[in-house]
């Protein structure tokens, strides 16, 4: 039976029972072209105030799983589920790497005891897509 993870709510429902909220964890979720679950795995575990994340390990997981799309999630033990400036910066780097590797990052969730937030739902991915499209247009115009 396949598990369809087509939006932030279904992804959150899949990850909530898996992810620890007392320490920061980063999870990667490998998805098919139809956004069905291939596999999910905890890639990094930190401590109550942070966690080191490296794109190499996250995309290595996606490549090993033969993922067509990738989603990531991490926990905020503080209870604040809003994205920090560092979260946004790191997600944009992963977004660009995913585009280059042809394994697009389609979501980054932040989970806490007080709820969750979705970088896709918050408009970050659409904004970055428009910026890439505008840069490509400007290159062609010159």
Q: Where are the domains of the chain?
A: 8-141
Q: What is the pLDDT of residue 95?
A: 96
3-state secondary structure of 69: strand
Mean pLDDT, consecutive 10-residue stretches, the chain (142 aa), reads: 89 96 95 97 85 90 98 94 94 96 97 96 91 70 63
- Identify the architecture of domain 8-141 in CATH: 3-Layer(aba) Sandwich (3.40)
**Residue 136 burial (10 A CB sphere; 0-12, 13-18, 19+):** exposed
């Amino acid at each position: 039976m396949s598990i369809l993870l087509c939006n932030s709510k279904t992804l959150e429902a899949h990850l909530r029972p898996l992810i620890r909220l007392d320490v920061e964890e980063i999870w990667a979720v490998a998805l098919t072209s139809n956004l069905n679950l291939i596999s999910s795995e905890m890639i990094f575990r930190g401590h109550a105030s942070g966690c080191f994340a490296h794109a190499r390990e996250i995309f290595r997981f996606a490549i090993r799983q033969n993922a067509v799309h990738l989603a990531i999630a991490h926990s905020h033990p503080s209870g604040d589920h809003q994205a920090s400036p560092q979260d946004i910066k790191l997600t944009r780097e992963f977004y660009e790497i995913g585009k280059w590797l042809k394994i697009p990052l389609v979501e980054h969730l932040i989970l806490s005891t007080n709820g969750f937030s979705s970088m896709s739902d918050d408009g970050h991915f659409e904004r970055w897509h428009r910026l890439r499209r505008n840069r490509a247009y400007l290159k062609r115009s010159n």
